[in-house]
Amino acid sequence: MYIIKLDAIDSTNVYLKRLAATALPRDYTVVVADLQTKGRGQMGTNWQAEEGKSLTVSVFKVLPHYKIEQQFYISMVVSLAICKALTVFNIPKLYIKWPNDILSEDKKICGILIENVIKSNQLQGSVIGFGLNVNQKYFENLPQASSMNLISGIVFDKDEVLSEILKQLQGYFEILETQNLSKIKSEYESLLFRKDKPSTFSTPDGYTFSGIIQGVTENGKLKVWTEDEIIKTFDLKEVTLLY
Q: What is the 3-state secondary structure (H, E, C) of the chain?
A: CEEEEEEEECCHHHHHHHHHHHCCCCCCEEEEEEEECCCECHHHCECCCCCCCEEEEEEEEEEEEECHHHCHHHHHHHHHHHHHHHHHCCCCCEEEECCCEEEECCEEEEEEEEEEEEECCEEEEEEEEEEEECCCCCCCCCCCECCHHHHHCCCCCHHHHHHHHHHHHHHHHHHHHCCCHHHHHHHHHHCECCECCEEEEECCCCCEEEEEEEEECCCCCEEEEECCCCEEEECCCCCEECC
Span of 1-10, 61-70, 154-163, 212-221 with lowest mean pLDDT:
61-70
Predicted pLDDT of residue 40: 57
Model pLDDT, residue 41: 56
**Could you tell me which residue, 232 or 118, shows the higher pLDDT?**
232
Question: What pLDDT does 157 receive?
Answer: 97
How far apart are the C-alpha atoms of 151 and 208, rounded to whole Å? Answer: 31
Check if CATH label 3.30.930.10 holds for domain 2-190. Answer: yes
- Give residue-wise pLDDT tens across range 57-80: 999 999 987 888 889 999 999 999
In terms of pLDDT, which residue wins out, 48 or 183?
183
> How far apart (Å, rounded) are the C-alpha atoms in residues 28 and 88?
22
pLDDT at 110: 97
Say what percent of the chain tops pLDDT 70: 95
pLDDT for residue 148 is more than 90: yes
pLDDT single digits (tens) 106-125: 999 999 999 998 888 888 99
Question: CA-CA distance, 32 to 19, in Å (whole number)?
Answer: 15
When pLDDT is cut at 50, 70 and 90, the band that residue 143 belongs to is confident
Q: State residue 53's pLDDT score.
A: 92
Amino acid at 44: G
47, pLDDT greater than 70 = no
Task: Quickly name the fold that domain 198-241 has.
Answer: SH3 type barrels. (2.30.30)
**Chain mean pLDDT for the chain:** 92
Q: Which residues pair with 2 in a beta bridge?
A: 29
Instruction: Quick: pLDDT tens for 180-228.
Output: 999 999 999 999 999 999 999 999 999 999 999 999 999 999 999 998 8
Q: What's the length of the chain?
A: 243
C-alpha distance from residue 149 to each of 12, 109, 178 (Å):
23, 10, 36
Residue 46 pLDDT: 54
- pLDDT at residue 48 in the model: 56
In this prediction, residue 94 has a pLDDT band, given cuts at 50, 70 and 90, of very high
The domains of the chain are located at 2-190, 198-241
Does the CA dihedral 132-138-142-144 come out positive or negative? positive
Q: What are phi and psi of 224, to 5 degrees?
A: -125, 130
